[in-house]
Amino acid sequence: MEKPDKIAVMLLAGILCLIVVNGWIIYRTWICNTDKQDSMNAQTQAAQVKTELVFHDDTSITNNSSRKLWLRVKVVYEDKHDEKLCRIDSAALKDGSWIQEQEWYYYREAVKASQDTRPLIDRLLQGDTDLMCQDVKHFRLQAEAVDETWLSQKPHNGQEAFRLFDQLDRAGTDLYL
């Protein structure tokens, strides 16, 4: 039997080393990172479940944060033409719970943690047709919130809260959550 030469043994040892190193790299990048990816996905899903504002079909909003928030809402129509054709009928607008200023509707009071607003829209009328009764709504609510702790003074209503916030924004003050 013939002895293997030194070069063949060295090449074989080099190939085995490369196989081991490649196996280690594959294990570290694909298999180990799978667990990290799963935990990152779970954290992302948990963060998505806990949203600050929860919108309900009756157009009320729940403050799902631990902070006191001032809210304003704008009705955004799917078709811009509908904006001129539609009229909002709302008991909350009539009693002053929501106050309209231009295209925005401001909630009169700060909304505390876990508190619901009154529904903004009872009926959305386009002629004689109530669009709220349809399965598919052709509008959405765009909401903005201001944390009361961001403001330098206690506002009396939603419009004042957003004016104070706008002044902070213009002054370039950094706000942190």
Quick: pLDDT tens for 6-65.
888 888 889 998 999 888 888 777 766 555 555 555 555 444 445 789 998 899 999 998
In-domain check, residue 176: no
Task: Tell if the pTM clears 0.75, that is, is over it.
Answer: no
Q: Do 102 and 153 reside in the same domain of the chain?
A: yes
Of residues 105 and 7, which shows the higher confidence score?
105
Domain termination residue (choose one: 30, 50, 70): 50
Q: Do 18 and 77 reside in the same domain of the chain?
A: no
The pLDDT value recorded for residue 126 is 87
| Contact partners, residue 73, CB within 8 Å, separation at least 6 | 61, 98, 104, 105, 107, 120, 141, 142, 143, 144
| pLDDT band per the 50, 70, 90 thresholds, residue 79 | confident
How many domains are contained in the chain?
2
